[in-house]
């Protein structure tokens, strides 16, 4: 994580997220009589670990590994990925292919256990240099530990939401009104945390684009890839779980609310930066 802007934003957002988490942990400790530090430690270790394992399995369960010795287009993609990983100082990832319904790609895992998945639709659509740009982008996510960071952020949002829910129930009356209020407060608390998490997610896409540009020496192939992916996704439904869309290189946004809660910045802005 060499980008100064990313470091600064991570410090600011990390401080805000920790404040949310500390408030939730303090309430749980006070309500249960347990020491604060063990409560915080269990929450920040157990919940993200479970989410990480489950998320990785859900994302790759329908994918097929491209084996060593594969020939043709997919064999070339596997070797290209390994060569780029070596240049970018990323431990050798597993390379997989998958039908997604749309041209797309994503990365999961951490350094030393990373997985890069390309859709068959993407391979059919892009030229070799464009694929190289997309794969470099995904490897940058692994190198920058973006998946792990997002899992921790989402876990904090979920924990804060649950704590808010039970806090309202404990302080309210035992009736349907308290139950409805608890659900509303829980949703608001979770959404408030996720606004900060998703803001970081959008900036991380810019950083991964920049890292990919540095890795291959030019941003034009990735810019062209994003243009093709955007056009190729129009009118088509993604066949993978919608919750996995945050992992992909492309995720469209439409209305104002969708932009606020989007995991990706506007595609045209990414293209503009890549060609600057």
Instruction: Judge whether 149 and 205 are in contact, CB under 8 Å.
Output: no
Catalytic residue among 130, 132, 138, 205: 138
The H-or-E segment that residue 4 falls in is helix 4-32
In whole angstroms, give the CA distance from residue 56 to residue 36. Answer: 30
Q: Dihedrals φ, ψ of 107, to 5°?
A: -125, 145
Longest dimension (CA), the chain: 66
DSSP string, 172-224: S-SSHHHHHHHHHHHHHHHHHHHHHHHHHHHHHHHHHHHHHHHHHS-SHHHHH
Residue 237 bears catalytic tag: no
Token readout for 128 is: 């070799």
Task: Please tell me what DSSP assigns to residue 69.
Answer: T
DSSP string, 39-57: HHHHHHHHHHHHHHHHHHH
Token readout for 58 is: 């859900």
Which residues does the annotation mark as catalytic? Answer: 138
């Amino acid at each position: 994580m060499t980008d100064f802007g990313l470091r600064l934003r991570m410090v600011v957002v990390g401080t805000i997220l920790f404040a949310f988490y500390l408030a939730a942990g303090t309430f749980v400790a006070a309500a249960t009589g347990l020491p604060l530090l063990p409560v915080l430690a269990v929450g920040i270790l157990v919940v993200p670990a479970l989410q990480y394992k489950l998320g990785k399995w859900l994302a790759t369960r329908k994918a097929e590994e491209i084996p060593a010795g594969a020939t043709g287009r997919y064999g070339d993609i596997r070797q290209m990925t390994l060569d780029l990983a070596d240049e970018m100082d990323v431990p050798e990832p597993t390379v997989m292919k998958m039908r997604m319904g749309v041209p797309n790609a994503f990365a999961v895992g951490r350094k030393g256990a990373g997985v890069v998945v390309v859709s068959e639709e993407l391979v059919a659509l892009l030229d070799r240099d464009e694929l190289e740009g997309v794969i470099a982008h995904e490897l940058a996510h692994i190198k920058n530990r973006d998946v792990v960071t997002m899992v921790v952020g989402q876990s904090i949002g979920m924990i804060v939401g649950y704590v808010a829910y039970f806090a309202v129930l404990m302080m309210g009356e035992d009736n349907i009104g308290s139950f409805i209020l608890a659900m509303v407060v829980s949703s608001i608390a979770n959404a408030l945390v996720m606004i900060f998490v998703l803001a970081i997610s959008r900036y991380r896409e810019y950083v991964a684009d920049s890292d990919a540009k540095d890795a291959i020496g030019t941003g034009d192939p990735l810019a062209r890839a994003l243009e093709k992916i955007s056009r190729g996704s129009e009118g088509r439904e993604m066949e993978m779980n919608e919750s996995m869309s945050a992992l992909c290189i492309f995720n469209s946004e439409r209305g104002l609310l969708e932009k606020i809660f989007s995991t990706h910045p506007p595609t045209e802005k990414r293209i503009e930066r890549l060609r600057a």
